[in-house]
Structure 1
Amino acid sequence: MYLFRQIEIPDWKKLMFKRIGLWGLFLIIMQVAAFAADDVVTVTLKSDETLRSLAIKYFGEPNDWELILLYNGYKSVSDVDIGAELKIPVGLYKRISRQIENAQKAITKANKEGAGILAKDLVEKAIMAQKESVKLKKEGQLDLALKRANEAVAAANNAIQQTNAKRIQSISAILSEKKGRVQSRKKDQTLWYNAEKNQELIEKEHVRTLSSASGEISFIDGSKLNLSENSLAVIEAMKRDLIKNTNTSSVVVLQGDIMAYLTSQNKRNQVNVSTPDVETDIRSRSFRTSRDENKVSKFANYDGEIDVKAAGALVTIGRNEGTSVAPGEKPKEARKLLDPPTVILPTPKAKYFTGTISIDWEPVSGAKGYHLQISDTRTFSNNIVDRKIIGKSVFKWESPGTGVFYFRIASIDRENFIGAFSRPVEFYIDRDVTPPFLLVNEPENEASVYQSTVIVSGDAEAEVVILVNQDSVSIAPDGSFSHRYQLRPGKNTLIIQAMDKAGNVSKTERIVYYNADDKLIMLDGPDKRYTNVREYSLTGATLPGCQIKIDGKLMDLVDYRFNYIVNLANGRNKVTVEAQSPTGKTQSVNVELILDETEPDVEIEDIPSFTSEANYKINGTVSEDCQIILNQHEIPVHERHFTTNLALKEGDNYLELTARDLAGNESIIEIEIFKDTEKPEIVNAQIVPQQVSGGEIVRIKVAARDEGVGLARNGKFNLGISGGNQSFSGMLCLNSSGIYSGTLMIPPGVQGKLQFNELTIRDYLGNQADYP
């Protein structure tokens, strides 16, 4: 324990010491001594205490328990035992916290006084030092955290001093923020140049944003104009009257959209935004001005009043009202702007532990779409997301990092007027990747129990989800849990998981053996088995502590399992498995192993090689109990008979019928059936001679073809005399050339032209050709 602590005194404090004298210095030294006296508190960790509870007690912040862990040189909570002596840096922690708060106040004051414009580097330095101080504090580097907090306070105060000194200078405006390509062009320049952040902007200077770009123009009084993408504006005038101490600025929007946030509108500070041929008198601190490709100007007002003058007419728009002005026309009557949507998610101060969040809002009647902004600043000067969403009321956002973020949204009506933004919703993203604390007190690993349930208990971080395998476990506010788990006989693997809100998981495994003692032998299969393997592997398991004998031979067990090779003879074989528990209980199981190496006999009723039937019935029998599979589809077997109807396709049908007996022996029959329902085709039919006068021998020739089973050997014909009622029939024979031929004697006295009354040609399956 020490009374005094060496501290680093900034230059501004040294100056203060010179001014306050020795007596003031004595008081400060006494205050530092008082701090040092209670800087570190030594405690002994009790059984009912945790690092979290100590952090609450001494820091007032439960999530800073890791500071105690790191300060005492521990790497893990599991290294800290009950009774451990712990040093807690109470005084240093409070000084750091107080100085971080002082830094924030100084930064806020600096920004309010304009340091964000005139001393931005110092402000950024202060912000960076403050953020680093917070980070170092969390990492347990307390001395360095205090140093960075002091630097933040000093930088912020220097920013204030520097800002006060510069205010007497004539500074026009600056490009305080830029995203993407922003360009500028001064009055005497013809080319555009890429603008840089914090670049000074002067009178008559043009500023434009390109696609997917945005920019922010900041004025001396803190007023800001935000330029959306594809916008163009000219700074017409920026004047400061040093005697009257007034600032007057005028900006003309030539294209695109500009959102104005004015710190005030009074005689000392005036910022006016207009469009060509449209005059404005602004008495508002928040408004939007736009001009589209058709040169139509729109004004939307969210505070106070704005007078809009054009073509000799004036329209005054009040709060949450808008108007538009077409080229050469008068301003339209003021119209009511849509109210902002009601934000559903995120809720205010919500904390997310993953990078992807859902932003939801209530749809607004009459809204065409919505204008959504997400920023890491409350003023929305640096928008991470700035987009218009049409037809949806939800937005999925992947955060680029962690920290504090702000969200707001406005409604867009069907005339593309954007209403007022909703109140900013502050939310936090902390991408936690650290697995939660989990300690399982019982059961012990490899425990052997004789009850059907076991108690699983332990400690974890509060608000985590505890699972024991698939069982959900309740957790007490202090992080303790206890659960009765149902066991099954034998080996049980228990996976205990703790999952925090970020989805990080800690796991612990416990093996528990439940000795049910009512079944000592657990075979991997039935007591009666068929096999076609002579060297058969008989396997199974028993309970912890039990002995297994097979046919009188003591088995070596691995993880309470046995594997015994039985040399089988043809037919039936008997194997005896015996078990004895540590309590003396015995159990015996007789296993019958039937060796069958003979393939089953299968008989199938005759199956034709060719058919014209659409379905065919297959019938058969087997010599023993079998499983019948036809083309990978099982067929029911009843009393060793089987039958099935098979749908045939045109052409070749290849079938494979497998009979598999109980031992796994198989017989395979391959079947081929050709289905032919196609009719033969008559290519040509001739009658020679066709004109007769009686007594002639007539020859009939028919050419036909068949793509299926082939033509039948014989055919028939019937001839008649054209215009008469006589007919003559005969047979046709198929020769080796594939031509049907036949002859016919014409009776004497028969005259006329012969023609076919009927011609019958079939294939082997009876499919008949059509003729004529």
Structure 2
Amino acid sequence: MTAREHMKKAAGLAAETAVALLLVLVLFWLFILFLFAVFPSGTPLKELVSDSGEPSPLARNGVKRPEAALQSLVRDVRCRRGDSVAWGDASEGMLLYNRDAIQTFDRSGATISFAPGDALAMGSNSMMVVTRLNETLEGGPRSYRVHVEGELRGHFSGAKRVRLEVATAGHLARVVPGASRFTFTPLGDNASSLVVHSGEVRVQGEDGVVRVPARFGITLRRGVPLGPAQRLPGSPRLKNDNLLYRYRQLPPRVRFNWTGGEGVYHFQLSSEPRFGKVLLDSRVTGTEFNAGLLDAGNYYWRVSRIEEGREGPFSRTGRCRLQQLLDPPQLRVDFPPSTVGVGGFRLTGRCQPGSAVYVNGTAGAMAEDGSFSYEIELRSGVNLIRVEAVDQAGNASYTSRVVYGKE
């Protein structure tokens, strides 16, 4: 092959390489244009990685204003901006804008505040999108539509700063302005239960508006006409609202029970009287709940009844105390003299209240203040008097005395 043929071949290879690179670049730019055409631009990377409590960049130039704020978070909560498809981690104090979405996961929760005293609380595995209906209105109450899938609890003051409607399970529920408390609870696919604790909610149905007043509830099912609002079940009565358990080594299983008959109940246990931090939150079938492995301390519990998804008010709050006792109970016995006449003798003493006393293996009579007495029969000669006190945790104290009976 001549030098001219070598040069011609090298030029052909170079041309083919250039054409291939050009085709790759053209295909790459076509792919980028396709992505921009199909998907929105999304939240800027700087906003996703910076402090999520900062206002949106659009708010700074007056285009968008914050509508609400994340007041509190529990565990895993995500946020998606209304102009984005990307989900990011939410944080306490984060500002929310029109059409922003919030999502919670297992054992998670979030509280969204619109104004002082006006808030919505999300339960686990729930998603909510907040839409401003009168965004261009200056002054007057703000109107919102909330699309929700999952559990939602509302608490609004009487200031009437916010007008709210909730879209769920194919229905639209409008909250009457004023002081109100209500709960939406999911009932499986395409169904939800609405319970109104105070105030009033009006649900739009095919045959008109159904009014749900305080202490009433209604079931919402997609594609199913609304029935009338039903009165909520009454609160159960606790059988023992002041439980006390004492133990020495392993904590006992604690038994909570109440009245109300067979059915579904909502049981809650907390270390705070106002249930700010719930330790156990369970649906229970029947009128009893057993809890084990609770540490020593004070606990508070309550229960409500659920009928067809409508949950009634909670019972009065019960108290439960677990005390770990490691020291033996104090014991004092008034023994007879070392030498005493034969016949009957009333043995007396005092020990820790709540303990049991045994004299020579037989239980003695105990008073609430811990005092006890026992009638013994002294015989002629040697008499061994042995006294044992056992507290409710099983700790024991012993004392004994040898007494000589004299004719």
Assess if the C-alpha contact under 8 Å between 2:193 and 2:310 holds in 1: no
Contact 1:249 1:270 (C-alpha < 8 Å) held by counterparts: yes
Residue 302 of structure 1 aligns to a residue whose secondary structure is strand
CA contact (8 A) 1:316 1:334 kept: yes
Offset of residue 503 of structure 1: 2.9
Aligned equivalent of 2:72, options 176, 191, 208: 176
Compared CA separation, residues 493 and 189, structure 1 to 2 (3 A): farther
How far apart are 1:316 and its partner, in Å? 0.9
1:316 corresponds, among 186, 211, 227, to 211
Q: What is the Cα-based RMSD across aligned positions, in Å? A: 4.0
Identify the match of residue 451 of structure 1 among 332, 342, 363: 342
Which of the residues 507, 511, 518 maps onto 2:397? 507
Q: Give the equivalent residue in structure 1 for 2:153.
A: 259
Deviation at 1:305, TM superposition (A): 1.8
* Partner in structure 2 of residue 346 of structure 1: 241
- 1:323: Cα distance to partner? 2.3
Query: Aligned-pair distance for 1:369?
Result: 1.2
Report what 2:313 is aligned to: 421
Choose between structure 1 and 2 for higher RCO, CA contacts under 8 A separated by at least 6 residues. Answer: 2
| 2:359 corresponds to 1:460 | no
Tell me: CA distance 1:186–1:171, structure 2 relative to 1, closer, same or farther (3 Å).
closer
TM-score (norm: length of structure 2):
0.66
- Per the alignment, in what secondary structure is the counterpart of residue 496 of structure 1? strand
Which of 151, 159, 168 is matched with 1:275 structurally? Answer: 168
Question: Once the 2 structures are TM-superposed, how far is the Cα of residue 237 of structure 1 from its aligned partner?
Answer: 4.5
**Counterpart position of 2:123:** 228
- In 2, Cα distance between equivalents of 1:475 and 1:514: 27
Amino acid at match of 2:267: L
1:417: how far off? Answer: 1.7
Partner of 1:431: 323
Per the alignment, do residues 171 and 345 of structure 1 end up closer, same or farther by CA in structure 2, a change over 3 Å counting?
farther
> Deviations 1:654-707 (Å, cap 9, x if unpaired)?
xxxxxxxxxxxxxxxxxxxxxxxxxxxxxxxxxxxxxxxxxxxxxxxxxxxxxx
Task: Report deviation, 1:225.
Answer: 3.8
CA distance in 2 between partners of 1:263 and 1:404 (Å): 32
Aligned to 1:494: 386
State, as a whole percentage, how many aligned pairs show the same letter. 19
Contact 2:141 2:162 in 1 (8 A): yes
**Shift of residue 358, structure 1, vs aligned partner:** 1.9
1:654-669 mapped onto 2 (5 Å cutoff): none
The answer as to whether partners of 2:347 and 2:373 remain within 8 angstroms in 1 is: yes
Q: Secondary structure at the match of 1:485?
A: strand
CA contact (8 A) 2:205 2:226 kept: yes
Counterpart of 1:485, as a letter, is: I
The answer to whether the Cα contact below 8 Å between 1:310 and 1:329 also exists between their aligned partners in 2 is no
Distance 1:186 1:292, change over 3 A: farther
- Cα drift, residue 383 of structure 1: 1.7
Q: Give the stretch that moved more between structures: 300-309 or 489-498.
A: 489-498
Distance 1:326-1:418 versus aligned 2 partners, 3 A rule: closer
Partner AA of 1:419 in structure 2: E
Is the Cα contact below 8 Å between 2:347 and 2:376 reproduced in 1? yes
Q: Is the 8 A contact 2:238 2:318 kept in 1?
A: no
Distance in 2 (CA, whole Å) between partners of 1:494 and 1:229 is 60
Aligned-pair CA distance for 1:249: 5.6
Pairwise CA distance, 1:397: 2.4
Instruction: Determine if contact 1:253/1:291 at 8 Å carries over to the other structure.
Output: no
Task: Tell me, in whole angstroms, the C-alpha distance in 2 between the residues paired with 1:250 and 1:189.
Answer: 19
Report if aligned partners of 1:202, 1:238 keep a CA contact under 8 Å in 2: no
SS at match of 1:344: coil
CA, structure 1 residues 490+246, in 2 after alignment: closer, same or farther (shift >3 Å)? farther
- The answer to whether residue 327 in structure 2 is matched with residue 442 in structure 1 is no
**Given the superposition, is the C-alpha separation of residues 345 and 183 from structure 1 closer, same or farther in structure 2, using an over 3 Å criterion?**
farther
TM-aligned CA deviation for residue 477 of structure 1: 6.0
> Take 2:216 and 2:399, find their aligned partners in 1: how far apart are those partners?
65
Larger radius of gyration: 1
Map of 2:34 onto structure 1:
none
Identify the residue that residue 653 of structure 1 maps to in structure 2: none
CA contact (8 A) 1:493 1:510 kept: yes
Deviations 1:5-39 (A, max 9, x none): xxxxxxxxxxxxxxxxxxxxxxxxxxxxxxxxxxx
Instruction: Flag the 1:498–1:263 CA change in 2: closer, same or farther, 3 A.
Output: farther
- Distance in 1 separating the partners of 2:270 and 2:145: 27
**Contact 1:374 / 1:386 at 8 angstroms: preserved in 2?**
yes
Check if 1:333 corresponds to 2:225: no
Matched, 1:470 2:367: no
- 2:256 equivalent in structure 1: 359
For the 8 Å contact 1:490–1:514, the answer to whether it is kept is: yes
Deviation of the 1:287 alpha carbon: 1.8
Does residue 398 in structure 1 map to residue 289 in structure 2? no
Matching of residues 132-143 of structure 1 within 5 Å: none
Separation in structure 2 between the aligned mates of residue 222 and residue 388 of structure 1, nearest angstrom: 29
Aligned twin of 2:303 = 409
**Which amino acid is 2:386 matched to?**
L
CA distance 1:482–1:420, shift in 2 (3 Å)? same
Q: What is the CA distance between 1:202 and its match in structure 2?
A: 1.4
CA separation of 1:498/1:171 partners in 2, compared to 1, >3 Å: closer, same or farther?
farther
Amino acid at match of 1:357: V
Task: Name the counterpart of 1:164.
Answer: none
1:216 Cα deviation from its structure 2 partner:
3.8
- Tell me, in whole angstroms, the C-alpha distance in 2 between the residues paired with 1:257 and 1:235: 15
Residue 271 of structure 1, CA deviation: 5.0
Long gaps (5+) in structure 2: 1-64
Alpha-carbon distance in structure 1 between the residues aligned to 2:401 and 2:171: 82
Hey, what does 1:147 align to over in structure 2? none
Once the two structures are superposed, the pairs formed by residues 85-124 of structure 1 within 5 Å of their partners are none
Separation (CA, whole Å) in 2 of partners of 1:273 and 1:469: 73
Whole-angstrom distance in 1 between the partners of 2:174 and 2:67? 24
Q: Deviations over 1:684-741 (max 9, x none)?
A: xxxxxxxxxxxxxxxxxxxxxxxxxxxxxxxxxxxxxxxxxxxxxxxxxxxxxxxxxx
Q: Does 1:376 align with 2:271?
A: yes
Identify unmatched segments of 5+ residues in structure 1: 1-168, 518-772
Query: Is 1:215 the counterpart of 2:109 in the alignment?
Result: yes
C-alpha spacing 1:434/1:183, structure 2 compared with 1 (3 Å): same
Q: Which amino acid aligns with 1:497?
A: A
Q: Whole-Å Cα distance in 2 between the matches of residues 185 and 487 of structure 1? A: 86
* Matches of 2:277 and 2:135, distance apart in 1: 27
> What is the deviation of 1:221?
2.0
> Which of the pair is proportionally richer in helix?
1
5 Å matches for 1:278-317?
278-283=171-176, 285-311=180-206, 313-317=208-212
Rate the CA distance shift 1:383–1:330 in 2: closer, same or farther, 3 A. same
Q: Are 2:331 and 2:397, in contact at CA under 8 Å, matched by a contact in 1?
A: no
Contact 1:313/1:330, CA 8 A, preserved across alignment = no
**1:562-585 CA distance string (max 9 Å, x none):** xxxxxxxxxxxxxxxxxxxxxxxx
Deviations 1:443-466 (A, max 9, x none): 389x57663655543333445443
The match for 2:374 is: 483
CA, structure 1 residues 268+188, in 2 after alignment: closer, same or farther (shift >3 Å)? closer
Structure 1 counterpart of 2:108, one-letter code: S
CA distance in 2, matches of 1:495, 1:239: 82
